[in-house]
């Protein structure tokens, strides 16, 4: 009996000790990342957590408008966000982003100066650091779509009605329609923007819905046969499903190109860890793995020599020169953005 009581006492003491130790253990810092989906190579986030003894919590959005509205609406608690370059200045003007402290992110030295000079909007990286750049085109199922032509006019095909999606994104959709009409996708001419909105309203009659996330699973499952899509995401779907009937094409009328960046929101209370995260993503080997996974170009010059021959030959990542000439960078529109918002509201309201 005595032995049993002693044993119980020992177990009780041990449990108490364990509880005390757990309660006293320092809590791991948590980094909150708000980002487009499917944007980190497998294992990278785990490696960052181990390296910095922290936890990373990831939340996804599917458009710059959602990100902007969330931060503008006062959402705090995010430490790293991924705005496209063309919304960075707007977010800075509204006090939503912090300045980048270059001294604390040594891997900024790896960023390709040619890319910064030619493509980037925040060229001096005052508030944003380039992450990935890519192009928007059309993905289709070659086993379902007959007589495909690389044209945005595919959205006029009545035989594909209900089987197509357009991105739920004003700059992407109106941009595609502007290019179809022979205009710049950064037009500030109200007549041109309105003509583009009329065209998207025509396309809207044929699409299942505006969609910026489920188009990936939808094209894989054959729910959708033709979708407006970001190239790298489609190559990821092809890889994941081993389905060579999914094809990505860049329309002959021209197509939007974009650059997503990393930035630290004004409300971040974990700036030091956010800086470490940005620095980690621009380590040469990490950036190379990310390019190989994402099929987008991370403008990290130190990563280029580490890329496989296969990725260097992939036309989604390195768009061939003749096609590249048809791409147009999505630019910041300043006060003229309101014209797009108004036109987009009309598109959304139309039957
Ligand atoms: N999987 C990540 C996709 C990122 C797309 N961002 C592009 C935004 C341009 N409108």
Whether residue 16 is predicted with pLDDT greater than 60 in this model: the reply is no
d(CA 185, CA 181): 10
114 has a pLDDT exceeding 60: yes
Mean pLDDT of the 147-166 span: 98
Does 11 map to a domain? no
Distance CA 265, CA 127 (A): 9
Comparison of pLDDT for 79 and 14, the residue scoring more = 79
Q: Both 335 and 204 in a single domain? A: yes
Separation of 25 CA from ligand 1 center, angstroms?
Answer: 39
Claim to verify: residue 174 and residue 115 sit in the same structural domain:
no
Q: What is the pLDDT of residue 239?
A: 95
What's the CA-to-centroid distance between 16 and ligand 1, angstroms? Answer: 50
Per-residue pLDDT tens digits for 157-168: 999 999 999 999
Q: Is residue 120 in some structural domain?
A: yes
Give me the pLDDT at residue 21, please: 47
Alpha carbon of 226 to ligand 1 centroid (Å): 18
56 has which bridge partners?
A: 31
Tell me if 144 CB under 6 Å of ligand 1: no
* Residue 25 resides in a domain: no
Neighbouring residues of 145: CB distance < 8 A, sequence distance ≥ 6: 154, 160, 225, 226
Number of folded domains that form the chain: 2
Domain-embedded: residue 7:
no
Based on the domain organization, do 242 and 276 belong to the same domain?
Answer: no
User: Could you report the per-residue pLDDT of 123-144, keeping only the tens digit for each?
Assistant: 999 999 999 999 999 999 999 9
101 lines ligand 1 (CB under 6 A): no
The pLDDT of residue 5: 57
Cα(160)–Cα(202) distance, rounded to whole angstroms? 14
Burial annotation 281-300 (CB, 10 A radius, 16+ → b, else e): bbbbebbbbbbbbbbbbbbb
71/154 same-domain check: no
Ligand 1 close to Cβ of residue 259 (< 6 A): no
Q: Convert the pLDDT of each residue in 266-301 to its tens digit.
A: 999 999 999 999 999 999 999 999 999 999 999 999
Task: Indicate the pLDDT class of residue 172, thresholds 50, 70 and 90.
Answer: very high
Assigned domain for 93 exists: yes
Q: Looking at the structure, tell me whether residues 106 and 204 fall in a common domain.
A: no
For residue 79, what pLDDT band results from cuts at 50, 70 and 90? Answer: very high
- 266 shares a domain with 203: no
- Evaluate whether residue 9 is within a structural domain: no
Q: What is the pLDDT of residues 39-48, one digit of tens each?
A: 999 999 999 9
To the question of pTM greater than 0.85 for the whole model, the response is yes
Same domain, 307 and 169: no
Among 37, 82, 230, 317, the mutation site with the greatest number of ligand 1 atoms within 8 A of its Cβ is 230
Q: Are residues 160 and 232 in the same domain?
A: yes
49 and 118 within one domain: yes
**Mean pLDDT, range 207-232, rounded to an integer:** 98
User: What does the alpha-carbon distance between residue 45 and residue 51 come to, in Å, rounded to a whole number?
Assistant: 10
Residues 223 and 315 in one domain: no
Q: Same domain for 247 and 263?
A: no
Contact 268, 274 (CB under 8 A): yes
CA-to-CA separations, 322 to 19, 130, 318, in angstroms, rounded = 66, 25, 12
Q: Is 258 in the pocket of ligand 1 (CB under 6 A)?
A: yes
Ligand 1 nearest-atom number relative to CA 134: 7
Assigned domain for 39 exists: yes
Question: What pLDDT does residue 10 have?
Answer: 55
Q: For residue 1, name the pLDDT band (cuts at 50, 70, 90).
A: very low
**Residues 221-266 pLDDT 10s:** 999 999 999 999 999 999 999 999 999 999 999 999 999 999 999 9
Above 60 in pLDDT, residue 35?
Answer: yes
Best residue among 36, 135, 234, 298 to mutate for probing ligand 1's pocket (most ligand atoms within 8 Å of CB) is 36
Residues 302-319 as b or e (16 or more Cβ within 10 Å = b)? bbbeebeeebeebebbeb
Domain at 281, CATH number: 3.40.190.10
Say if residue 74's pLDDT is above 70.
yes
- Residue 279: phi and psi, rounded to 5, are -60, -45
Q: Is the pLDDT assigned to residue 2 strictly greater than 70?
A: no
Query: Residue 115: is its pLDDT beyond 50?
Result: yes
Percent of the chain with pLDDT strictly greater than 70: 93
**Cα–Cα distance between 334 and 142 in angstroms, integer?**
40
User: pLDDT confidence of 25, banded at 50, 70, 90?
Assistant: low
Which residues constitute the domain of residue 341?
A: 134-257+329-349
If one counts every other C-beta atom within 10 angstroms of the C-beta of residue 196, the result is 25
Least confident of 8-17, 107-116, 326-335: 8-17
User: In this structure, are 171 and 126 located in the same domain?
Assistant: no
Mutation test residue for ligand 1: of 258, 263, 290, the one with most atoms within 8 Å of CB: 258
- The CB of 85 under 6 Å from ligand 1? The reply is no
Distance (Å) from CA 12 to ligand 1 centroid: 55
18: in domain: no
pLDDT of 36 reads 98
pLDDT: is 229 or 1 the higher one? 229
Q: What's the CA-to-centroid distance between 211 and ligand 1, angstroms? A: 13
pLDDT value, residue 76: 87
Ligand 1 site, residue 60, Cβ cutoff 6 A: no
Q: How far is the CA of 276 from the centre of ligand 1 (A)?
A: 23
Q: Which residues pair with 36 in a beta bridge?
A: 61
List all residues 6 or more positions away from 232 whose beta carbon is below 8 Å from its beta carbon.
132, 134, 294, 295, 296, 316, 317
């Amino acid at each position: 009996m005595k032995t049993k009581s002693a044993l119980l006492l020992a177990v009780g003491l041990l449990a108490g000790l364990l509880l005390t130790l757990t309660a006293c253990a320092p809590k791991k810092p948590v980094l909150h990342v708000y980002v487009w989906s499917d944007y980190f190579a497998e294992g990278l986030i785990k490696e960052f957590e181990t390296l910095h003894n922290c936890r990373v919590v990831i939340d996804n959005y599917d458009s710059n408008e959602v990100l902007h509205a969330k931060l503008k609406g006062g959402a705090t608690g995010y430490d790293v966000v991924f705005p496209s370059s063309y919304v960075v200045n707007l977010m800075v003007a509204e006090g939503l982003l912090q300045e980048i402290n270059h001294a604390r992110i040594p891997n900024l030295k790896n960023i390709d100066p040619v890319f910064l000079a030619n493509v980037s909007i925040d060229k001096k990286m005052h508030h944003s650091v380039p992450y990935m750049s890519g192009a928007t085109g059309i993905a289709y199922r070659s086993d379902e779509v007959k007589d495909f032509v690389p044209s945005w006019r595919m959205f006029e095909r009545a035989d594909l009605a209900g089987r197509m999606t357009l991105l739920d994104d004003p700059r992407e959709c109106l941009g595609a329609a502007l290019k179809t009409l022979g205009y710049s996708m950064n037009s500030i001419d109200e007549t041109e923007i309105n003509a583009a909105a009329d065209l998207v309203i025509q396309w809207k009659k044929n699409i299942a819905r505006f969609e910026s996330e489920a188009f990936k699973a939808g094209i894989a499952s054959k729910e959708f046969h033709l979708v407006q899509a970001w190239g790298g995401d489609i190559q990821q779907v092809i890889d994941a499903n081993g389905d060579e009937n999914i094809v990505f094409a860049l329309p002959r009328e021209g197509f939007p190109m974009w650059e997503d960046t990393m930035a630290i929101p004004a409300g971040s209370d974990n700036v030091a860890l956010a800086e470490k995260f940005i620095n980690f993503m621009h380590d040469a080997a990490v950036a190379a793995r990310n390019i190989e996974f994402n099929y987008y170009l991370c403008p990290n010059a130190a990563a280029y020599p580490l890329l496989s021959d296969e990725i260097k030959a992939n036309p989604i990542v390195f768009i061939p020169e003749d096609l590249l000439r048809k791409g147009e960078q999505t630019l910041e529109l300043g006060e003229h953005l309101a014209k797009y918002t108004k036109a987009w509201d009309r598109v959304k309201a139309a039957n």
